[in-house]
Amino acid sequence: LNQRIDRPFGIDRSEFGDRMYFLFTAVVVVVIAAVVYQIGKGKLGGMWRFVAFSERGTAAAGTKVRNAKLSAFGVSAFIGGLAGGLTVGQIGQVSSVSFQTGGSLGLFVLCIVVGAHFIDMAFFGAILFVFVPEILKQFGLPLEWANVVFGVLGVQALTSNSTLGDQIRSGLRKLKRHGATAQPVSAHLEEVDLERTSAIFTTTGQPLLEVKNVTVRFGELRALDDVSLTVYDREVVGLIGPNGAGKSTMIDTITGFLTDYEGTITLDGKPMEGLAPDRRAHEGIRRTFQQDRVPSSMTVGQYMRLMAHGKSTPTEIDEILSYFGCPPAHTPLRVVDVGSRRIVEVAANVASKPVVLLLDEPAAGLSHDEHIVFGNQLKKIPQKYGISVLLIEHDLDLVRSVCSKLVVLNFGGVLASGNQAEVLRDPEVLKAYMGEKVGE
Ligand code: ADP
Ligand code: MG
């Protein structure tokens, strides 16, 4: 094993010696950095950022979490392999001493400390990795101390949940300050004129999403108890009910995040049983989440393209963004406030042109004025984009103005369902949903 390994011809020791090898390595590093930078800007990079931020969000967008992770692993392993080869060429022999656990761990921690997903920080980390031991050597301290230093910095980075790269970037942003935040959606309060839009879809009255006798148990608790509901072609159905009634569980079940349920779910007559969330997303069931799952490391446009999976052209994406009053495509999502980000999430799912869109309290972060505007936009989604909507919403004014039909859940069971006006007059519903407000 301790055989001497010669460098390949052209970069061998004889002619130019180590200087040439250093240059060769530097060129490889620059090429790799350029390629990684390109990948980071592209679709694959977007997928990686998304899966690092939220696996559920990734799956809901129709991307296989496994593929996203495997491709990241494959590319990293390839680069690691190259680096290993270069190291062997440098030392001139293969030896496990060059790749010991402690050293690898130190390097890994250093990557976390500096934020090695930023390319400049990766270079900075490499410099630290070389120079900290050198400095220790100067002072006659044992080299193991370098790992202790990295370890302490690593604990600091993990507890503060921010890397050196993040800190430097946010510091620079504060210095610049101007253009710091995007306009919230309320900046676009004008009404949308449906007559001017190109296509107007009309309902065929066909049942599209059919949920039949679904029961979900969490131990003793029946989060859903024999629930049936139908969303017909191009209508907005409201799913309402008090907190804990099972609304989010219903969406998790329809979208395939909860696999353990009794009953059947069909989309356009096709059974969804046994299909993973990303498959159901491809079939045309898309959702938004009650919690923010929009990765702040992307721009609005990158996120829209990633979510749309090529189903919308750039022009259509811009049109959808402006329809929902979202910030323009080049805006970084980190400067978009949480309420508006939820609307961007809705817009991105519309851009994927699903059959049904399930919205879990999309208006939760909006002001009252924004609520009204959003309601108007929501109401027209079926006609404008040909998409049916199942909407979870607490604001009964919004529900009244947007939904044609309602399903009311209470303690996991269907309390009432049918036409909106009838359901909202039902005394049982008033009692369960508004509690003490009955009799007002
Ligand atoms: P809603 O969205 O209507 O407010 P949820 O669907 O989130 O309600 O929750 C319905 C019920 O199921 C609640 O009682 C909740 O505590 C319970 N629940 C939800 N998810 C889980 C889980 N993963 N494990 C155990 N119980 C859960
Ligand atoms: Mg919920």
Question: Which ligand is in closest contact with the Cα of 241?
Answer: 1
Taking a C-beta distance cutoff of 8 angstroms, is the pair 293, 57 a contact?
A: yes
> Residue 330 CB: number of other CB atoms within 10 A?
9
d(CA 330, CA 305): 12
| Burial of 146 from C-beta contacts in 10 A (0-12 / 13-18 / 19+) | buried
pLDDT interval class at 55 (50, 70, 90): very high
Q: For atom 19 of ligand 1, which residue has the closest CA? A: 249
| Atom from ligand 1 closest to the CA of residue 246 | 6
Taking the centre of ligand 2 as the mean of its atom positions, its distance from the CA of residue 68, in whole angstroms, is 28
Pair of tokens at residue 423: 């359901």
pLDDT interval class at 296 (50, 70, 90): confident
How confident is the model at residue 160, as a pLDDT?
87
Report the DSSP beta bridge partners of residue 238.
391, 406
How confident is the model at residue 202, as a pLDDT?
67
How confident is the model at residue 435, as a pLDDT?
61
d(CA 339, CA 181): 13
pLDDT interval class at 9 (50, 70, 90): low
Bridge-based pairing state of the strands 262-267 and 236-240: unpaired
Q: For atom 16 of ligand 1, which residue has the closest CA? A: 244
pLDDT interval class at 7 (50, 70, 90): confident
Query: Per mean pLDDT, which range of 108-112, 275-279, 342-346, 357-361 is the poorest?
Result: 108-112
How confident is the model at residue 201, as a pLDDT?
64
Pair of tokens at residue 347: 């817009």
Q: For atom 23 of ligand 1, which residue has the closest CA? A: 218
Taking a C-beta distance cutoff of 8 angstroms, is the pair 254, 285 a contact?
A: yes
The more confidently predicted of residues 10 and 85 is 85
Written as one string, the DSSP assignment of 5-36 is -PPPTTSSTTTTTHHHHHHHHHHHHHHHHHHH
Q: pLDDT at residue 273 above 90? A: yes
- Read off the pLDDT of residues 167-184 as tens digits, 9 standing for 90 and up: 888 888 888 765 556 665
Buried b (16+ CB within 10 A) or exposed e, 299-312: bbbbbbbbbbbeeb
Q: For atom 27 of ligand 1, which residue has the closest CA? A: 218
Mutate to test the pocket of ligand 1, among 227, 229, 249, 414 (most ligand atoms within 8 A of CB): 249
Q: For atom 26 of ligand 1, which residue has the closest CA? A: 218
d(CA 302, CA 45): 10
Taking the centre of ligand 1 as the mean of its atom positions, its distance from the CA of residue 161, in whole angstroms, is 28
Q: For atom 21 of ligand 1, which residue has the closest CA? A: 218
pLDDT interval class at 105 (50, 70, 90): confident
The more confidently predicted of residues 193 and 233 is 233
How confident is the model at residue 440, as a pLDDT?
38
d(CA 40, CA 55): 18
Taking the centre of ligand 1 as the mean of its atom positions, its distance from the CA of residue 223, in whole angstroms, is 6
Mutate to test the pocket of ligand 1, among 56, 214, 217, 221 (most ligand atoms within 8 A of CB): 221
Q: pLDDT at residue 200 above 80? A: no
Q: pLDDT at residue 194 above 50? A: no
d(CA 275, CA 398): 33
Q: What are the pocket residues of ligand 1 if the criterion is a CB atom closer than 6 Å to any ligand atom?
A: 218, 221, 223, 241, 243-249
How confident is the model at residue 184, as a pLDDT?
58
Q: Helix, strand, coil proportions of the chain in percent (round to 5)?
A: 55, 15, 30
How confident is the model at residue 189, as a pLDDT?
47
How confident is the model at residue 274, as a pLDDT?
93
How confident is the model at residue 197, as a pLDDT?
46
- Read off the pLDDT of residues 333-363 as tens digits, 9 standing for 90 and up: 989 998 999 999 999 999 999 999 999 999 8
Taking the centre of ligand 2 as the mean of its atom positions, its distance from the CA of residue 250, in whole angstroms, is 9
